[in-house]
Each structure stands twice: as C-alpha cells, then as structure tokens.
Amino acid sequence: MRIPLPRFLHLVLAAAIAVAPIAPVAAAPRIKDISDFEGMRDNMLVGYGLVVGLNGTGDSLRNAPFTRQSLIAMLERLGVNTRDATLNTQNVAAVMVTANLPPFARQGTRIDVTVSTLGDAGSLLGGTLLVTPLLGADGEIYAVAQGSVTVGGFSAGGAAQTVTRGVPTSGRMANGAIVEREVPFEFGAITSLNLTLRNPDLTTSRRISQAINSFMRGPVSQALDASTVRLNVPLPYQQDLVGFLTDIEQLTVEPDQIARIVIDEQNGVIVMGANVRVDEVAIAQGNLTIRITETPQVSQPGPFAPPGAQTVTVPRTDIQIDDGADRKLTVLKPGVTLQDLVDGLNALGVGPRDMISILQTIKAAGALQADIVVM
C-alpha cells in the first residue's frame, strides 16, 4: 500500500520526535528562594541556666565558681540554705541556652533551643534543663525553656583509653521553650515593603522587578539597588496581603552570577562560578621534591673476626630527587569555559593545592576574567 507523501512526512517527523532525546530543563528558583521580605525575620534569644541530673559528668564546683554560685542561688529561691555548706556535686552543669524566635510567633507556641556547656562538664547526656528565661537584644524575656536535653554524641573511657563520638557537651531540645512575649509587627497595615536579595546583584534585582511587573501587569515594583526591590501593594490586594505575597514569592527568576573563584586555602577547596573565562595562556607546573630516607643497618663481626670486634650500626641514606621533568606544558585557548580550564589543569596532574597557586598566577598575569576570593 502506498502512503501519500504528506502523510508519510508527518509519520517520519512524529517518529523522529519520539526517539529524539529530551534535554533536561533547569528550573529557575523562586523569588522566595533568593530573597526575603523585609521585617519578616527571626530574632535571636539567649539565656543562662542549669542542667541537673548528670551522672557525674557535670562541672567541678572548684573549677567552675559560676556554677557553684548559680546552684546556691537556685536552692535559696527554693528555700534551701547552703551558703555555709560544702558542695561537692558533679551532677550539675552551667549552660548557655540559645534559640531563634521565628516571625509571627504567638504566645504559647513552642520553639526549639540549643544547650551548650560553659564549664568543664564532660557530657550533658541524661540531663534536665531547669526553668531558663530567654532574653532578646532589648533585654526583655520572650520565651522560657525547660525540659530534657537530647545529646547526639557520647564519651566513654577507662584508665588507658577514652572514646568520644560527636559533641556530648552540646544538645538540643525540640519544642523546649514556650513563647511568652510576641514581637509587635503590624502586618495588615502595610502598603509597601522591600524585598532583600540574599546575594546582592543589580541584574538579579532588575529581573525580579520585571517579573513582578509582568505578573501584575503594572509598575508595582522597582529595583532600588543591588539588594533591594521596593514593592507597592495594589489596592485590590491591600485586604489580602498574604495572598499577594504568596503570588509574588512563587514567581521564578533566573539569578545572575558574578564570575568568581572562591578558594579555601586552609582546606584546599576551590569553587568556581560558571561564568569564569580565561584568555589564551600557557601553563607549566612542576615541583622540586627531595625525599631523604634513613634506613640504618646493623653490622655484626664475622665468625673469624679478630678479638675486640663489636657490633655497630651503619648508616644508610637514600636520596630521591623529583624535578617534575615529566610534567608537560599546556595551552589554554582564549575564552575557554570552566570545564576547559579544569580539564587542562587535570591534564597536567595538578592537585587542588597546586591549582590554587596556578589560578592566582593566571590572575596576576591578567588572563583570568574573574574575581578570586581567598577565605
């Protein structure tokens, strides 16, 4: 059976589309993933308290006088006088309690807290935190913490060996604090607010403003600088500010990246941005390595050695020199990408530490079109 030519072309095209590989599409991040609404932030809280119930792993009262004073003051508040007594317990530890008060936290809600030792306590395993007020930067009490401390690490040992896993002197308390005071914030009376970029960039700021104006079909936002976008609430949304911000934060924007190389010289870690470009440059890398190995040998007298012959130690020294003569010279063409740069350096057998020096040298030569940030 003969198939008409137009229908045959349609069948061939459909078959080609069916077998063609589909390129993955990278999803752009949402506005809520790259920015924050100004004013909607956490507030840090801190407090000082005591953890009791430790199995001999608490503070030594002689070495931690603040623990002793806090213990005496706590007992006096409970009607127990111990000022003239000699305290020698190791079941109590002085701790600092920290927490983050989330925005719009109401009275009675619970938040997580972190407990960390101050003295020479060995572990907080099995301890219970007594009532501890948590203060804000203004000195007011915003939450109160109390409860059992959960410790992820442990420490065990004997007379000759000690094993420690994790950090037993720090623990967490899930829902360990109750909010007692709210941070005032008039959310319903807002007619304009700012979006703050987590990574300030002029191009990204402008793209966010354009995406919001395109969605709202009107000039409701303006990029003020590299980190701030002013957002004016339209009249139809002033009674539904939550719905307006929900629609805005779900918009997708492709953030721009600065051509930057971040180097952690202490740990030998290198992170390069995708926009790093290198002009044409020739690279050669080689190190002079001198390895000296001492392997002394023992020389003993033979069976018929003369009287008085003694066993002596004879030094044996092995010296190896590696001048990097097998290293090659590679040429990087102008405008190479990050992948080309990495492939070229790997072809030389360059390790991370040597790559740091090479990148800094290329930058000094003016051939690296990127900023280098050394941590």
pTM: 0.66
339: confidence class by pLDDT, cuts 50, 70, 90? low
The reported pLDDT for the residue numbered 157 is: 65
Same domain, 80 and 149: yes
- Kindly state the tokens that stand for 128: 């219970």
Whether 174 and 47 map to the same domain: the answer is yes
Residues in CB range of 267: below 8 A, 6 or more apart: none
Q: How confident is the model at residue 111 (pLDDT cuts 50, 70, 90)?
A: very high
Residue 240 in this model has a pLDDT that exceeds 50: yes
Displacement of CA 328 from its chain's centroid (Å): 38
pLDDT the model gives residue 52: 94
330 and 357 in a single domain? The answer is: yes
pLDDT of residue 11: 44
Do 118 and 224 reside in the same domain of the chain?
A: no
Tell me, yes or no, whether 205 lies in a domain.
yes
Tell me the mean pLDDT in the region 165-182: 90
Q: Where are the alpha helices (DSSP H) in 127-226?
A: 202-216
Q: Which of 37-41, 215-219, 359-363 has the highest mean pLDDT?
A: 215-219
Mean pLDDT across the stretch 25-37?
82
Instruction: Give the residue from 146, 179, 212 where a domain finishes.
Output: 179
Residues 238 and 274 placed together within one structural domain of the fold:
no
Give the pLDDT confidence score for residue 278 in this predicted structure.
Answer: 75
Q: How far apart are CA 129 and CA 282, in angstroms?
A: 63
Ranked by mean pLDDT, which of 78-92, 166-180, 258-272 comes out on top?
Answer: 166-180
Query: Is 173 part of a structural domain of the chain?
Result: yes
Nearest to 315 by CA among 299, 300, 326: 299
The average pLDDT across 219-248 equals 90
Q: Are residue 278 and residue 357 in the same domain, yes or no? A: yes
Supply the pLDDT for residue 231: 92
**Residue scoring higher pLDDT (78 or 359):** 78
SS3 state at 269: strand
| 324: its two tokens | 């990097």
Is residue 211 one of the residues assigned to a domain? yes
Mean pLDDT of 259-271: 79
Residue 240 falls inside a structural domain:
yes
Does residue 103 sit in the same domain as residue 69?
A: yes
Report the distance separating Cα 74 and Cα 93, nearest Å. 13
Q: What is the pLDDT of residue 275?
A: 76
Same domain, 56 and 99: yes
How far is CA 9 from each of CA 3, 13, 179, 230, rounded to the nearest angstrom? 10, 6, 70, 54
- 236 with 270, same domain? no
For residue 244, pLDDT over 70 is answered with yes
**Local confidence band at 113 (pLDDT 50, 70, 90 cut-offs):** very high
The residue range of the domain holding 236 is: 192-249
* Local structure of 3: helix, strand or coil: coil
pLDDT of 307-331, one tens digit each? 766 777 767 666 565 555 555 555 5
Question: Which of 217-226, 270-279, 285-294, 353-362 shows the highest mean pLDDT?
Answer: 217-226
Distance CA 209, CA 280 (A): 38
In a domain, 9, yes or no: no
Residue 76 in domain: yes
Q: Which residue has the higher pLDDT, 3 or 82?
A: 82
Predicted local distance difference test score (pLDDT) of residue 236: 84
Q: How many domains does the chain have?
A: 3
pLDDT at 300: 72
Residue 226: inside a domain:
yes
Query: 63 in a domain, yes or no?
Result: yes
State CA 182 to chain mean position distance. Answer: 29
Does 231 lie in the same domain as 126?
Answer: no
Q: Name which residue leads in pLDDT, 208 or 336.
A: 208
- Taking the C-alpha atoms of residue 84 and residue 78, their distance in angstroms, rounded to an integer, is 16
* Residue range 124-156, pLDDT digits in tens: 998 999 999 999 999 999 999 999 999 987 666
